[in-house]
Structure 1
Amino acid sequence: MATLGMSPADKQAVDAFRKDVVEPSMSKLVVIDFWAEWCGPCKALGPVIEKVTDDYAPKGVLLAKIDVDKNNFIASQFQVRSIPTVYAMFQGQLVADLTSARTESQLRAMLDQILRQLPISGEAADAEAELEPLIAMGEQVLADGDAERALAIFDQIAEMAPDHAVVAAGRVRALTTLGRHDEAQGALDAIQGDAAKAPEVERARAALSLAREAQPVGDLAGLAARAAANPEDMDARYELAGGQMAAGDREGAAETLLAMVRDDRAWNEGAARQRLLKLFEVVGLEDPWVAGQRRKLSQILFG
């Protein structure tokens, strides 16, 4: 924004804009709200913008309010022809027009989309970067079968980030693997707000549900022989699948459930298919093993 030939007042406004908006935008996402005291819609939208940007401040979002009456030159440089006009700036460039967002949910959705695409620096982003390797360690230890150590790792991370959905979900899955189902349910119930809807929490919820319904079988080999001798005994086959899951044999459980779906997909209101889908969710929908099993299920259902 050139200052040559401007009045002292305009030059002062430009200098202030550079300091308050352009410079912070080098590392943060600056939401610029062009408004005026006499503008009714501005007064309605202003509190919404202020609340959302305040909530998003830890993510690297900053609000700059520009009174067009006091900063007419700045407004003209951005070709503001009506108010409210709301832009997002990053590294000195406008990256989005947020004017159409008139509700909290709309503005949050637009900001979430922008933040996913830009390298915004904020407290939350920095903290997340520190937690990522620790969470990965906990997940790896849990995948390797050492649930006790995994729980200890997730407990330590939870002290650093008590409201982190992924960490909370990891604790629930570790407790579930250890058979401490009541503690796992208590930990699930303690997850509040949007965190409770996170995919990782849904996965942990499915793991606990599956663990409670998949009961261990004392004579698993005997049950398998009985189910093989009488394939029409779907109850025995369903119990076998539960026993296989309880024993950690997901391959065997999947084979049993897939065969049940192939033989009678409507049995017990599709219970075999529902249990199989829950197993997929517990393992992780992006897991290569799940992808292979889903292809087998699709071939049975639609092949």
Structure 2
Amino acid sequence: MASLSTAAGERASIEAFRRDVLDASMDALVILQFTAEWCGPCKALNPILDKVAADYADKGVRRVAVDVDKNQTIAAQFRIQSVPTIYAIFQGQPVADLTPARTEPQLKQYLDQILAQLPIGAGAEAAGAADIEPLIEAAQAALAEGAYEEAHRIFTALAAEVPERMDVVAGIARALIGLGRIEEAQGVMAGVPEDAKDAGVAQARASLALAKEATPVDDLDGLRARSAAAPDDLALRYELAGGLMARGDHDAAADELLESIRIDRTWNEGAARDRLLKLFEAVGLEDPWVMATRRKLSTILFS
């Protein structure tokens, strides 16, 4: 009966080890300490290990102690010759021998080096960020190409993963603006903090401002003809620029605004220049088109 009881206890210990160490290490780093009740150095290490494990818990670290006298099969599997013996376990395998570390700073140095190389805790966040960046680039490229449905799809999917990323939220708004869904874009941007400094947020806000004032024109060709017949009518040029922007023709819109500035930069309190600067911000201040058009503006202003 005693042997049956011992066998049952051993099975329970092995099952607990599988659950608390092997299974847990699939997505965490387990500090596995082999110890014994009679081991003085083990007792001295316990509070240090407890503190370090608590400090690193939010980074995906947990601690498990195994008494070698009560878990002889497990100790034999790990070929434990002395205690304390301490391993770092990840995905069921020892990835480092922590036994030489006997102080808190030494243990933390070991853990920092290990975690930097494994996809857990801060490492997982970095890996996640690395996975997300190509998707953000793809969504931005879709925006630049006018593929607003595709950009909206990608940015919306990303928002479920990284809702705190303001560039992703702004990307959704910009895609909606491109699709003509202005009120939805306004709703999205309403949730963005006023002090958000992200460049994408600035672009989205400028795009929204332009969308509100750049009214689509039903007979754009007719308006173009009237403006050509009255080249000094800056109100017509301003209306034409708005219609062109509403259609997404930034080149033609910028040409009209630049010509208006050349004729009279002070017209309507500099409205043409203000609209052109909003267009720059909506497209992106680092965009090659913006930099080239800005040079044209400087030539007019300083000639």
Q: Smaller-chain TM-score range?
A: 0.5 to 0.7
Instruction: Specify the alignment match of 1:163 in structure 2.
Output: 164
Report SS of the residue matched to 2:292: helix
1:262 has 2:262 as partner: yes
The CA deviation string for residues 241-296 of structure 1, in whole angstroms up to 9 with x for no partner, is: 00111111111001100011111111111110010011111111111111110100
The amino acid across from 2:149 in the alignment is E
1:244 has 2:227 as partner: no
How far 1:126 moved relative to its partner?
A: 2.8
Separation in 1 of the partners of 2:184 and 2:168? 15
Instruction: Specify the alignment match of 1:74 in structure 2.
Output: none
Q: Which runs of 5+ in 2 are unaligned?
A: 1-99
The amino acid across from 1:127 in the alignment is G
1:128 has 2:129 as partner: yes
Separation in 1 of the partners of 2:301 and 2:180? 34
How far 1:193 moved relative to its partner?
A: 7.0
Instruction: Specify the alignment match of 1:301 in structure 2.
Output: 301
Instruction: Specify the alignment match of 1:279 in structure 2.
Output: 279
- Within the candidate set 95, 107, 113, 1:19 is matched to 107
How far 1:192 moved relative to its partner?
A: 3.3
Evaluate the alpha carbon distance shift between residue 190 and residue 123 of structure 1 in structure 2; reply closer, same or farther with a 3 A threshold: farther
How far 1:18 moved relative to its partner?
A: 2.8
2:101–2:107 Cα contact (<8 Å) kept: no
The CA deviation string for residues 91-117 of structure 1, in whole angstroms up to 9 with x for no partner, is: xxxxxxxxxxxxxxxxxxxxxxxxxxx
2:170–2:200 Cα contact (<8 Å) kept: yes
Evaluate the alpha carbon distance shift between residue 250 and residue 27 of structure 1 in structure 2; reply closer, same or farther with a 3 A threshold: farther
Instruction: Specify the alignment match of 2:227 in structure 1.
Output: 227
The amino acid across from 2:190 in the alignment is D
Instruction: Specify the alignment match of 1:115 in structure 2.
Output: none
Map residues 69-148 of structure 1 onto 2, 5 A cutoff. Answer: 122-148=123-149
TM-score normalised according to structure 2 size: 0.61
Map residues 3-82 of structure 1 onto 2, 5 A cutoff. Answer: 15-20=103-108, 22-24=109-111, 26=113
How far 1:220 moved relative to its partner?
A: 1.2
How far 1:127 moved relative to its partner?
A: 2.5
The amino acid across from 1:279 in the alignment is L
2:241–2:257 Cα contact (<8 Å) kept: yes
Instruction: Specify the alignment match of 1:216 in structure 2.
Output: 216
Instruction: Specify the alignment match of 2:199 in structure 1.
Output: 199
Evaluate the alpha carbon distance shift between residue 271 and residue 159 of structure 1 in structure 2; reply closer, same or farther with a 3 A threshold: same
The amino acid across from 2:106 in the alignment is R
The amino acid across from 1:185 in the alignment is Q
Evaluate the alpha carbon distance shift between residue 193 and residue 211 of structure 1 in structure 2; reply closer, same or farther with a 3 A threshold: closer
1:186 has 2:274 as partner: no
The amino acid across from 1:262 in the alignment is R
Separation in 1 of the partners of 2:210 and 2:261? 18
The CA deviation string for residues 136-164 of structure 1, in whole angstroms up to 9 with x for no partner, is: 12122222222122211111111111121
Instruction: Specify the alignment match of 1:7 in structure 2.
Output: none
The amino acid across from 1:151 in the alignment is H
The CA deviation string for residues 200-229 of structure 1, in whole angstroms up to 9 with x for no partner, is: 111111111101111111111221121122
Separation in 2 of the partners of 1:235 and 1:217? 14
Instruction: Specify the alignment match of 2:41 in structure 1.
Output: none
Evaluate the alpha carbon distance shift between residue 249 and residue 264 of structure 1 in structure 2; reply closer, same or farther with a 3 A threshold: same
Evaluate the alpha carbon distance shift between residue 227 and residue 193 of structure 1 in structure 2; reply closer, same or farther with a 3 A threshold: closer
Q: Which runs of 5+ in 1 are unaligned?
A: 1-11, 30-59, 61-120
Evaluate the alpha carbon distance shift between residue 28 and residue 269 of structure 1 in structure 2; reply closer, same or farther with a 3 A threshold: farther
Instruction: Specify the alignment match of 1:40 in structure 2.
Output: none
* Aligned residues: CA RMSD: 2.3
Separation in 2 of the partners of 1:160 and 1:227? 49
Evaluate the alpha carbon distance shift between residue 19 and residue 186 of structure 1 in structure 2; reply closer, same or farther with a 3 A threshold: same
